Amino acid sequence: MNIFFPIKISYKYLLAAKFRSFLTILGIIIGVASVIIIMSIGQSAQALILDQITGVGSNLIVILPGASEKNGPPAAMMGVSITTLKYADLKALKNKKNVPEVEDAAGYVLGTTSIIHGGNSMNVSFEGTTASYVNVENAEIAKGNFFNQDEETNLSRVVVLGDSIAKEIFQNTNPLNKILKIKNQNFLVIGVLAKRGSSGFGVTSQDDTIFVPLRTAQRMLLGISHLGFIRLKAKNANLISEAETNIATTLRERHKIDNPSNDDFTIRDEASAISIIKQVTDILRYFLLAIGTISLIVGGIGVMNIMIMAVNQRIREIGLRKAVGAKNSDVQMQFLIESIFISFLGGIIGIIIGILVSFTISKIIQYLQYNWPFLITWQSIVVASLVSIVIGIIFGIYPARKASQISPMEALRYE
């Protein structure tokens, strides 16, 4: 049988019942477009997050206060305040005798505060950190300088601004040597960090943060003496395992811990963080993909319904074809090809719409200053096309078999 003949018939039938055909194809269009959009957004979001992590460096080790299971979150990540990490721990870990694999290390405390300049007040996130921040985080200075070690330890009231904060507060004027009032204390602006880009939705980035010396933040802004966390920069990624062993040994000695099960700290490295993030984002992508697949199944049911209606409306046509020699297999193949044609047509339109929507979303997010790549893989297009064809086959089998089983005599008597 000529395969183009049933396609031609299907095309004519679609034109004869435009609105009903549109509603039938709409389910496939929505399902396929959803699959394309979900896969694109999932890949783009994953790329954004991983780019932020690898941009800082894959040779970083993070020490968080509080113990945790091997693959579980530390207590500090659950909002529990733990005070086991101290500035003296940071100094011990920077000592090459204790951890020779480490190039540098930085201590951190985080918080929010209000700042005042020129009568205007705004709430900002701040980081109290050490002079080594620039080296550990691979940060760049756009203007001025970062604070030095003396300023780090001497309660100096100096501040370094993230790119976005500097522009928001000082507009087009040079912020260097200007005064910001933080908690009723005057702080001198000594530097501005280069723009790094947003780190993700709901996550404060370097650009939206102000930086003050660690001791200043602890005593003047937070009233604490412990660290929020420590980051260490290994000389290279291959030394991370050895560094973690020496870090654990050093902290256990300092905290007088004999049994590792009693550790009051958690060690994480960027490589494991990347692996965990990939796993989490992949699970979310597959979950959302499953939801999109449900839309395709609903669309397939719509195709089956329209094909059953087509069989009922074309009984006399089927009878005539059988009367002039058409076999059951010919009739079955005709309706099956029609079902595949309808699904494939909806799939093509869905792919085009999915690509356009994904592109639009990427442009909107990029306009919001997020480093959001537009990612559409040929695999997703092939998968969407194949799925639409498979849907057509699966949901076209029953109507096709029903059509092929119609008796020619009964069909010709049908009114």
Nearest to 305 by CA among 30, 33, 28, 6: 28
Query: Using one digit for the tens of pLDDT, what is the confidence trace for 191-203?
Result: 999 987 654 433 4
- pLDDT bin (cut points 50, 70, 90) of residue 383 is confident
The pLDDT value given to residue 71: 56
* Residue 258 amino acid letter: D
Q: What is the mean pLDDT of residues 108-135?
A: 90
* Token pair 């020619």: residue: 408
117 vs 93: which has the higher pLDDT: 93
CA distances in angstroms from 386 to 148, 348, 381, 383, listed in the order given? 60, 11, 9, 5
Q: What is d(CA 243, CA 223) in angstroms, rounded to the nearest whole number?
A: 32
H or E stretch including 269? strand 265-269
pTM over 0.75: no
Query: Using one digit for the tens of pLDDT, what is the confidence trace for 312-332?
Result: 666 666 666 666 666 767 677
Supply the angle between the helices 328-367 and 315-323 in degrees, to the nearest 10: 130
The pLDDT value given to residue 350: 87
Q: What is the mean pLDDT of residues 212-229?
A: 92
Percentage of residues in the chain with pLDDT exceeding 90? 26
Instruction: Note whether 336 and 396 are within 8 A (CB).
Output: yes
Residue 62 predicted with pLDDT over 80? yes
Rounded to 5 degrees, what angle do the CA atoms 81, 48, 230 make?
A: 30
Query: Using one digit for the tens of pLDDT, what is the confidence trace for 343-356?
Result: 788 888 888 998 99
Q: Assign 327 to helix, strand or coil.
A: coil
Of 23-27, 259-263, 361-365, 410-414, least confident by mean pLDDT is: 410-414
- pLDDT bin (cut points 50, 70, 90) of residue 371 is confident
CA distances in angstroms from 65 to 48, 93, 267, listed in the order given? 28, 15, 9
Largest CA distance in the chain: 102
The pLDDT value given to residue 255: 92
1 vs 302: which has the higher pLDDT: 302
Domain boundaries, the chain: 4-53+276-413, 83-263
334 vs 223: which has the higher pLDDT: 223
Q: What is the CA radius of gyration of the chain?
A: 32
For strands 209-213 and 120-129, give the pairing. Answer: parallel
Residue 81 predicted with pLDDT over 60? yes
* Token pair 């009964």: residue: 410
Residue 415 predicted with pLDDT over 70? no
379 vs 362: which has the higher pLDDT: 362
Q: What is d(CA 42, CA 188) in angstroms, rounded to the nearest whole number?
A: 43
Percentage of residues in the chain with pLDDT exceeding 70? 75
The pLDDT value given to residue 199: 47
- pLDDT bin (cut points 50, 70, 90) of residue 92 is very high
Of 29-38, 45-54, 264-273, least confident by mean pLDDT is: 45-54
Residue 48 predicted with pLDDT over 60? yes
* Token pair 């060690």: residue: 267
The pLDDT value given to residue 345: 82
* Residue 381 amino acid letter: I
Residue 265 predicted with pLDDT over 70? yes
What is the average pLDDT value for the chain, to the nearest integer?
Answer: 79
The pLDDT value given to residue 313: 65
Nearest to 87 by CA among 210, 214, 211: 214
Q: What is the mean pLDDT of residues 381-390?
A: 78
Query: Using one digit for the tens of pLDDT, what is the confidence trace for 244-259?
Result: 899 999 999 999 988 8
Ranges of beta strands (E only) in 99-249 are 102-117, 120-129, 141-144, 158-161, 179-182, 185-193, 209-213, 229-234
Of 2-6, 94-98, 194-198, least confident by mean pLDDT is: 2-6
Rounded to 5 degrees, what angle do the CA atoms 314, 315, 319 make?
A: 120
The pLDDT value given to residue 88: 93
CA distances in angstroms from 105 to 97, 133, 212, 234, 399, listed in the order given? 14, 8, 17, 9, 69
